[in-house]
Chain A
Amino acid sequence: MPEGKVVAMEINAKGMYYRDLNNILREKVAEGVTEFVLQGINGQRYLGTGLKGKVKIEVYGTPGNDLGAFMDGPEITVYGNGQDGIANTMNDGRIVVHGHAGDVLGYGMRGGELYIRDSVGYRVGIHMKEYKKQVPVIVVGGTAGAFFGEYMAGGILVVLGLNKKEGEPLTGDYLGTGMHGGAIYLRGEVEKDILGKEVAEFSLEEEDYRRLNPLLENYAKFYNIALEEIMAVPFKKLVPVSHRPYGKLYTY
């Protein structure tokens, strides 16, 4: 396989067992294939799990749980809804979902980016971490369920509420509970009583826009929406009050 040559491959995965499908992906990546188009995906789990390197995967249909778990580099675009556990402990790479997605997205995520066009379920962005240059990002276009960013230790979470109905909350309860690192950016307001007691709300500073703008530009580009529409509503930022919320818990 000549260096740098893009080799694309289309797979009709209709009715295919997930282990067989993942095996093909792994083998073909090892052989040098760098682009995949997966047609007829319907519930196959663990797509892209543990996959490394500069690989692009287009997914048509609805992939199953744990899409891109432990993934380290590839870019997956889902033309359909996502389910639970996307980007579980993901190290690097990018997942773009053209639709809704389920619960526990980005659990313990260490790096890379996850974009969801519409809304997400419960417990999204829990235990996200960051270390040196690895700053994981989740951008949610719609609304999020309860426990968003719980125990968050690093990284960036964004909720845009673009499809939010009048009176509908931007996120569920227990927003940022136990959070001790990272930042949550909210487009619009949330009721104070849904906030975990470890976080506080602030206005954005220049530095925040510097981090946020590229993510919003990506969102606008991926989902073909005007950036001005996103920027039409002001943002708020949630950050932890203390990096040691449990520092005084013990006696010796």
Chain B
Amino acid sequence: MANLIPPRFKVVIDYEKCRKCKRCVINCGFGVYSFSDRVIPDHKKCVSCQRCVAYCPEEAITIIENPNVFRPNSYWTMEERINIMKQASSSGMLLTGMGNDRPYKNYFDHLLIDACQVTNPSIDPLREPMELTTYLGSKPDAVKVKVEDGQIKLDTKIAPQIKLDTPIIFSPMSYGSISLNAHKALARAAKECGILMNTGEGGLHKDLYPYKDRIIVQVASGRFGVNQEYLDHSAVVEIKIGQGAKPGIGGHLPGEKVNREVSETRMIPEGTDALSPAPHHDIYSIEDLAQLIYALKEATNYEKPVSVKIAAVHNVAAIASGIARAGADIIYIDGFRGGTGAAPTIIRDHIGIPIELAIAAVDDRLRAEGIRNSVSIVAAGGFRHSGDVAKAIALGADAVAIGTAALIAMGCHVCQMCHTGNCSWGIATQRPELTQRLDPDWAAGQLINLIKSWSLELKEILGALGLNAIESLRGSRERLRGIGLTDTELAILGVKHAGR
């Protein structure tokens, strides 16, 4: 009785304008359109990904939200009712793509950045050099120098560092959850921008080997595609513990998405479920984590930083402290707005905490313990623009990672249907007729433009603050003010209220 479920969207076709070119039929990955005499939409199948709208040459298509799906009720929302109907007809867990879209308080929008005025003048970034370069990796407690042959030389052995030309990297998105063309675009853009892309937990396709200096490879509980060759083709090795969209649970790429190439990259037979449960069954303590961190350091000759990725959860500060003490060089924290290829809706929407609070809590704790320098903090989970980036860095992050924003740059319209594998934009799909829609060169160009734009804006923000290096902004919470926040929230964020 799945047809109890009413259509959420209505596809309105202006038949006066339509010239029956059938482009909408071809472009829809969800099979909305059929053709007999004229194009006929099946409203129930529409997810409002807007691909047909963009490709209709006559602008004959408008997709609207179905105005009267149910009797209005602000408690029993349309979503809640549709979800109950789906579950009543299936007995499964509801699955969803992209990040948490519930209207929880968004702290970025309650933070304002300071600016210079008369006495401490701002800097004009168009004239003055502005430094966005960021180094990820463990920094020593102190640096000793020695004089040798009249030259000053460093006498402290520095842990491996990764140079970023701007403090933004791409979030982990596995090959499997997104297409190979999307992966190629991310790798090319990362190289061009001097930043990093992250393979996620789906292994590394050989076509990406040439970009190895710009790639973070993940070692997750399922250990998909992990072998020495994989570790060798990376700049950073990341142990994936958690993900913002689904803290505390694992990943599951259903067998039907494990085609020949995905199977080769993950090193599992075609068509088998790729299960990566939440726990690494060899990690039950910080000591176990330390053991894996050092196994990876051994395997990579202590030449690469090891990162540990966790979801932002209530106890994140204590966990981060343990991770730092276990020998990680980078802690990657993913907030609850983090996107996903597929997560149970109930987990995505109700578990975890916002990244803003997590950054502040972790930075405070590591500072209080005197070990903040021993790890870099990468923050992720819903960064929408360079203002969010600047605020995160002022709260204490070294760099941020963007996933959803990067997908949007490549054409994603956030229809939240990635888990179906039917992405009409050719991004979150493995269907060959769809993946070929994404031109990796074009998509790389879009990503490069986005990173350049945000970097320009970051320089502008720094100039307004009278700073000439992003380093000076890191953890500088005095340059932030809260607006409309409670005393507790201000205390956790470590910022004063606007006007103080």
Q: Which positions in A face B, CB cutoff 8 Å?
A: 19, 22, 26, 45-46, 49-50, 52, 65-66, 69-72, 85, 88-89, 91, 104, 107-108, 110, 123, 126-127, 129-131, 134, 147, 150-151, 153-154, 178, 180-181, 243-252
Contacts and interface: CB of A to CB of B under 8 A. Distances in A.
Contact of A46 (B86, B93, B263, B295): B295
B272 interface: yes
Given A107-B281, A246-B252, A251-B87, A52 B228 contact: yes
A70 B231 contact: yes
Contacts of A22: 298
Contacts of A181: 269, 272
B371 interface: no
Nearest to A243: B272
A237 B223 CA distance: 26
A70 B227 contact: yes
A55 B282 CA distance: 27
29 contacts: A45-B294, A49-B295, A50-B231, A50-B300, A52-B228, A69-B299, A70-B226, A70-B228, A70-B231, A88-B292, A89-B219, A89-B226, A91-B227, A107-B223, A108-B222, A123-B281, A126-B282, A129-B223, A134-B267, A154-B269, A180-B273, A243-B272, A244-B254, A246-B275, A247-B273, A249-B92, A250-B92, A250-B254, A250-B419
Given A104-B282, A247-B254, A151 B277 contact: yes
B294 A46 contact: yes
Contact of B273 (A66, A123, A131, A243): A243
B277 A85 contact: no
B93 A249 contact: yes
Contacts of B255: 243-244, 247
B72 to A, nearest CB: 25
B309 to A, nearest CB: 17
Contact of A127 (B95, B222, B271, B296): B222
B291 interface: yes
Interface string B250-292: 0010110000000100011101110101001110000000011
A45 B299 CA distance: 12
Nearest to B90: A251
B281 A131 contact: no
B420 interface: yes
B275 A178 contact: yes
Contacts of B298: 19, 22, 46, 49-50, 66, 69
B221 A127 contact: yes
A108 B223 contact: yes
B273 A246 contact: yes
Interface in B186-208: none
B485 interface: no
State which size class the interface on B falls in.
Answer: 35 or more
Contacts of B223: 89, 107-108, 110, 127, 129
**Residue in A46, A71, A250 whose Cβ sees the most chain B Cβ within 10 Å:** A250
Contact of A72 (B227, B292, B301, B344): B227
A50 B228 contact: yes
A237 B267 CA distance: 25
B226 A108 contact: yes
B5 to A, nearest CB: 11
Contacts of A129: 223-224, 267-268
B113 interface: no
Interface of B: 86-87, 89-95, 219, 221-224, 226-229, 231, 252, 254-255, 263, 267-269, 271-273, 275, 277, 280-282, 291-292, 294-296, 298-302, 344, 419-420
A104 B268 CA distance: 21
Contacts of B221: 127
Contacts of B269: 130-131, 154, 181
Contacts of A245: 273
A243 B302 CA distance: 39
A126 B281 contact: yes
Given A49-B295, A89-B226, A131 B267 contact: yes
Contacts of B92: 248-251
A106 B300 CA distance: 19
Contacts of B222: 108, 127
A151 B419 contact: no
B227 A88 contact: no
Contact of A250 (B89, B93, B228, B281): B93
B291 A85 contact: yes
Contacts of A71: 228
A252 B45 CA distance: 12
A252 B95 contact: yes
A248 B224 CA distance: 22
Contacts of B282: 85, 88, 104, 107, 123, 126
Contacts of B95: 250-252
Contacts of A72: 227-229
A110 B294 contact: no
A148 to B, nearest CB: 12
A178 B273 CA distance: 11
A107 B294 CA distance: 16
A69 B271 CA distance: 28
A26 B298 CA distance: 10
A178 B344 CA distance: 19
A69 B295 contact: yes
**Residue in A45, A69, A123, A248 whose Cβ sees the most chain B Cβ within 10 Å:** A69
A250 B295 CA distance: 36
A22 B420 CA distance: 47
Contacts of A49: 295, 298-299
A207 B281 CA distance: 31
Nearest to B231: A70
Contact of B419 (A130, A247, A252): A252
**Residue in B87, B93, B231, B272 whose Cβ sees the most chain A Cβ within 10 Å:** B272
Contacts of B263: 131
A252 B420 contact: yes
A71 B229 CA distance: 11
Contacts of B281: 104, 107, 123, 126-127, 147, 150-151
A135 B226 CA distance: 15
A10 B292 CA distance: 28
A66 B95 CA distance: 37
A110 B263 CA distance: 14
Given A46-B295, A127-B221, A131-B267, A153 B227 contact: no
